[in-house]
Chain A
Amino acid sequence: MIRATHYMLMNRLTPFLFVIILSFMGVDVHSQWTDINMTEGVTDISRDVFNLHMLIFYICVAIGVVVFGVMFYSMFMFTRKKNPEPAKFDDHKGLEILWTVIPFLILIGMAVPATNTLKEMYADEEGDINIQVVGYQWKWEYKYLEDNVNFFSNLTTDQDEIYNQVPKGENYLLEVDEPVVIPTGKRIRFLITANDVIHSWWMPDFAIKQDAIPGFINTAWTVVEEPGIYRGQCTELCGKNHGFMPVVVKVVTPEEYELWVAEKKEAAYQLALLTEKEWSLSELMLKGEEVYAKNCVACHQTNGMGIQGIFPKLAGSEIVLNNKSRNVEILMEGVQGAAMQSFANQLSEIDIAAVITYTRQAWGNDSDGDGKIVVPKEIVEYKENKNNI
């Protein structure tokens, strides 16, 4: 494997060069090396990839210096003023062969380390922990196959930050409500797929980028030694909010990881208890508004008006006003051939009941329609009926 030592000096010098050039351009220079170059990342593979990248970059720079050197030399030395009589030669077999063979050899020099690294990345066996990653428009779902833990990971950046109403936070567009949590030192295998369109799961610090494709399961693996929070993004155009579905991985120690898994299981149990309780309208409305803001506003908008021709409006919609059973069905099953997906597995029974209640009450829908509310038990019953069929 290629190791960094040869390039250390160059790596240190290059940023200074850029900084000097930039300060001449009058640019406010607070950039660091990682602001203009690939990250070295935190895994052995990602460091291999980084070194491969730098190796090829410097080979390209060297070729560029030679070729452009001869070219600029010709441009300055062989102007009409300095060289009024052009030479007559127009071919040279030996040269042609030489500059076919030499690049070929250089390419072999590049292909060998690249092939080795690639083979290593493809050494894809079962992981210590196997996590299924599912892309949705526009969020990620993580399923821990051994521990039976699953959850969705949504962008938490506020719409007001995006629309410049309030200052933007440090992790603007790169923050989620629930990061995927993995322990250090364990081999983690990601099984990546998608529910609707093609997405791509990218974690630069692990050098993992795999397309999430409906009907396919792609795999990738990593071992991370360094605890921390790592951020990436979806990298395949997947519709309107493609720019708003970040990937956040939180790497913790194995002990913390065990604790976290136990907490997730306990929370799932508590949720099941809550579903049984009697919910009042105001409780449902409060919860529903929260769920709506997280899952629905992107398409149906805060005012429930949707986007004409693309996403239907909910305020004044016949279904939301007077057709409660169809209303529930859409949330549970999605709409075939449209962007509306099934939320049956994404949201808890409480969340679904609350958000339906919210949409049936908000924006004047309560006075225009039947104003019927939905309680969590009804969603549980819906699921049971479906299972019985």
Chain B
Amino acid sequence: MSAVVESHDHHHGPAKGISRWLFTTNHKDIGTLYLWFSFAMFLIGGAMAMVIRAELFQPGMQIVEPEFYNQMLTLHGLIMVFGAVMPAFVGLANWLVPMMVGAPDMALPRMNNLSFWILPFAFGVMLSSLFMEGGAPNFGWTFYAPLSTTYAPPSVTFFIFSVHILGASSIMGAINVIVTIMNMRAPGMTLMKMPLFVWSWLITAYLLIAVMPVLAGAVTMMLMDIHFGTSFFNAAGGGDPVLFQHIFWFFGHPEVYIMILPAFGIASHIISTFSRKKLFGYTSMVWAMVSIAILSFVVWAHHMFTVGMPLAAELFFMWATMLIAVPTGVKVFNWVATMFRGSITYETPMLFAICFVVLFTIGGFSGLMLAITPADFQYHDTYFVVAHFHYVLVPGSVFSIMAAVYYWLPKWCGNMYDERLGRLHFWLSFIGVNVTFFPQHFIGLAGMPRRIPDYALQFADWNMISTAGAFLFGASQILFLFIVVKTVMGGKKATPEVWEGAQGLEWTVDSPPPYHTFSTPPLVK
């Protein structure tokens, strides 16, 4: 009886049992759900990467058949992009945006619940295609028509349904973030006083709203081609297979910035805190992100330099793509200037953040090389591209997410993580990621195409090294799981500030924060 009475007394606390998670409208709970979901997807997508790397350990077919290999590489890409990285950033936004702008919750809490809970269904549908006749989607995460339409396995229809659901989820999440930021900032917090993570998410949310409907359009046209006799992408019916690529990459290029802009925000917070210095060039950081977002809409065809576009188009997309190096460079220079003459310590979040800056920059360099059209004719669809985008996505996006988890986890659960284990996790991941992806630059330049299950003998040595690195990286993430669970279960209590000199409203509330924070808005000077 006393328990019942108590829950009446604390009617602001969470519900008990499973219904807490199913029916929650609390931004912190939903943030937690998103983060755990994305971690589960990270492990599933990672397991698929292990299948891919195991098959590539040696020349010849050893473990899987080419048909299944193609399914693995397709699902690995889809799950990592839509299941791991994007939901992780949405989870961080849920936890942090309201606390950073001094709002009591997200603006649309019920929609927040819906946008999370349709995700497991989307991925349930997608993964179930593995067990269907004809197998899972096998046409790569970019699903180029007509391989994904006329020549696709029957499960492609389920894949289309799944993309529709997860697109709806992303759009709802984005609307929620924009409405929260625009309407619920604490008094005195003007746009140019917002923390950079909030800025980065505001821009990301606009990108999401702009391009997710385009993706939905692309898959709907596929659906029409497959089931209703249209010929959008079917040359035999007067359609245009290249049209698919234009539509896909008009979504796809902003999409890659959706996966990196929040990382920029995270790195800015962490580098400033552990350098004990205010972030250098706040204003130019904001404008750099806005420029990157705008440019992202006019560079899509650099993914398609080999489709046979006219010279004028090739030149336009080459120059526009090269321009992106300018605002991106500004960001890197500002991070370095923030560290310059700081008073730096190297806790785990800082290690991940520094590693993010260095390796993301290396990914940026190879990106600049890829922008050069004549050279891209040699790089395109080789392992050089695989190395490039994994450098910006793994030590880029994924490391920034890990940095964020180490940085804010003590705030979320009130316990400090084990610093020694955290550093061990960092170093294992750092070594693993470089041993995996650096040699891929070499084999790509030497001529190994991507998305092949077997390769010529001259690529054998580097593939073996790459696979060894991949298994090291994969295994290290089990350690990450252990560290997080250990921290949530207990550990040294964290102070409200957690980190000496950390700036921002989220550090003014207790660790862990009460279930509802900022019911009365704080005043920002």
Q: Do A and B bind each other?
A: yes
A interface residues, Cβ below 8 angstroms from B: 27-28, 31, 34-39, 48-49, 52-53, 56-57, 60, 63-64, 67-68, 70-71, 74-75, 78-80, 83-92, 95-96, 99-100, 103-104, 107, 110-111, 114-115, 117-119, 121-122, 137, 161-164, 168, 170-174, 196-198, 200, 202, 204, 207-211, 213-216, 218-219, 232-244, 307-310, 337, 339
List of 9 A-B pairs having minimum Cβ-Cβ separation, nearest first: A215-B235, A243-B452, A218-B308, A36-B442, A87-B341, A309-B133, A90-B278, A60-B365, A86-B343
Complex CA distance for A301 and B79, rounded to whole angstroms: 31
> What residues on A are CB-neighbors of B504 within 8 Å?
none
Q: Tell me whether B47 is interfacial, beta carbon within 8 Å.
A: no
Query: In the complex, what residues of A have CB within 8 A of residue B333's CB?
Result: 67, 95, 99
Q: Which residues of A contact B276 (CB under 8 A)?
A: 80, 86
Docked CA distance A168–B465 (Å): 20
Taking Cβ atoms with an 8 Å cutoff, the residues of B that contact A are 59-62, 65-67, 70, 133-135, 138-140, 144, 146-147, 150-151, 153, 235-236, 239-242, 275-284, 306-308, 311, 314-315, 318-319, 322-323, 325-326, 329-330, 332-333, 336-337, 339-345, 354, 357-358, 361-362, 365, 368-369, 372-375, 377-378, 380-382, 442-443, 445-447, 449-458, 461-462, 465
- Are A214 and B236 in contact, with the CB atoms below 8 A? yes
For residue B276, which residue of chain A has the nearest CB? A86
The answer to whether B341 and A78 touch across the interface, beta carbons within 8 angstroms, is: yes
Q: CB within 8 A of B241: which of A56, A96, A111, A214? A: A214
Does A162 lie within 8 Å of B339, measured CB to CB?
no
Which residues of A are found within 8 Å of B330, using beta-carbon distances?
A: 96, 99-100
The contact of A114 among B357, B365, B374, B450, by CB within 8 Å, is B374
**In-complex Cβ contact of A74 among B65, B315, B339, B382 (8 A):** B339
Q: Which residues of B contact A63 (CB under 8 A)?
A: 365
Q: Which residues of A contact B462 (CB under 8 A)?
A: 36
Q: B345 touching A80 by the CB < 8 A rule?
A: yes
A215 CB → nearest B CB, Å: 3
A78 touches B336 (CB 8 A): no
Query: With a CB–CB cut-off of 8 A, which chain A residues contact B378?
Result: 38, 49, 53, 204, 207, 209
Q: Which residues of A contact B151 (CB under 8 A)?
A: 137, 196-197, 239, 339
26 A-B residue pairs with Cβ-Cβ distance under 8 Å, sorted by A, are A38-B378, A38-B445, A53-B372, A56-B372, A71-B354, A78-B275, A78-B341, A86-B343, A99-B330, A100-B329, A110-B372, A162-B60, A168-B60, A172-B457, A173-B59, A197-B147, A202-B449, A216-B308, A232-B447, A233-B447, A233-B449, A235-B380, A235-B450, A239-B70, A309-B135, A337-B150
Q: A52-B375, A114-B372 are in contact. Are A90 and B277 (CB under 8 A)?
A: yes
Identify the interface centre among B70, B306, B307, B323: most chain A CB within 10 Å of its CB: B306
A350 to chain B, nearest CB (A): 29
**Nearest-neighbor residue (CB-CB) of B447 within chain A:** A204
> Do B453 and A243 have beta carbons less than 8 Å apart?
yes
Tell me whether B361 and A64 are in contact (CB under 8 A).
Answer: yes
Knowing A48-B374, A118-B318, A243-B449 are in contact, say whether A35-B442 is a contact too (CB < 8 A). Answer: yes
Residue from A78, A137, A234 whose CB has the most chain B CB atoms within 10 Å: A78
| Chain B residues whose C-beta falls within 8 Å of the C-beta of A96 in the assembled complex | 281, 284, 330
Determine the chain B residues whose CB is within 8 A of the CB of A174 once the complex forms: 456
A91 to B70, CA, bound (A): 50
Q: Which of B60, B242, B283 contacts A91 (CB 8 A)?
A: B283
A118 to B449, CA, bound (A): 22
Nearest residue, chain B, Cβ from A38: B445
Per the bound structure, the CA–CA distance linking A304 and B71 in Å amounts to 23
B326: contacting residue among A104, A164, A233, CB under 8 A: A104
Q: Which of A36, A60, A232 contacts B369 (CB 8 A)?
A: A60
B59 and A168 contact, CB distance less than 8 A: yes
Are A118's CB and B284's CB within 8 A? no
- Least Cβ–Cβ distance between A212 and chain B, in angstroms: 10
CB distance B66 to A67 under 8 Å? no
Q: Which residues of B contact A161 (CB under 8 A)?
A: 60
Q: Is the CB of A84 within 8 A of B343?
A: yes
The one of A92, A103, A104, A162 that contacts B454, using a Cβ cutoff of 8 Å: A162
Q: Is the CB of A35 within 8 A of B59?
A: no
User: Do the beta carbons of B306 and A78 come within 8 Å of each other?
Assistant: no
Are B336 and A56 in contact, with the CB atoms below 8 A? no
A327 to B: closest C-beta gap in Å:
23
A161's nearest neighbour on chain B, judged by CB, is B60
Q: What CA separation (Å) do A52 and B66 show in the bound complex?
A: 36
Whole-angstrom CA separation of A39 from B378 in the bound complex:
9
Cβ 8 A contact of B343, one of A85, A107, A309: A85
> How many angstroms from the CA of A18 to the CA of B337 in the assembled complex?
31
| Residue pair B277, A86 in contact (C-beta under 8 Å) | yes
Contacts of A36 in B (CB 8 A): 442-443, 445-446, 462
The answer to whether B341 touches A107 (Cβ under 8 A) is no
Instruction: Let me know if A111 and B318 touch, CB within 8 A.
Output: yes
Tell me the complex Cα distance, A216–B153, Å.
25
- CB–CB A115/B369 < 8 A: no
Complex: A84 Cα to B276 Cα, angstroms? 10
* Apart from the given pairs A35-B442, A214-B241, A233-B452, 17 other A-B contacts in the complex at a CB distance below 8 Å: A53-B375, A53-B378, A60-B369, A67-B361, A68-B361, A83-B344, A89-B341, A96-B284, A100-B326, A168-B457, A172-B59, A209-B381, A213-B307, A218-B308, A234-B449, A243-B453, A309-B153
Task: State whether A214 and B235 are in contact (beta carbons under 8 Å apart), knowing that A99-B333, A236-B144, A237-B139 are contacts in the complex.
Answer: yes
Q: A137 vs B454: C-alpha distance in the bound complex, in angstroms? A: 17
User: Nearest Cβ distance between residue A252 and chain B, in whole angstroms?
Assistant: 23
Contacts of A90 in B (CB 8 A): 277-282
Q: Is the CB of A121 within 8 A of B374?
A: yes
Known interface pairs A103-B326, A233-B449, A243-B449. Does A70 touch B340 (Cβ–Cβ under 8 Å)? yes
For the complex, give the distance between the alpha carbons of A79 and B374 in Å: 44
**Minimum C-beta distance from A1 to chain B (A):** 11
A370 to B6, CA, bound (A): 83
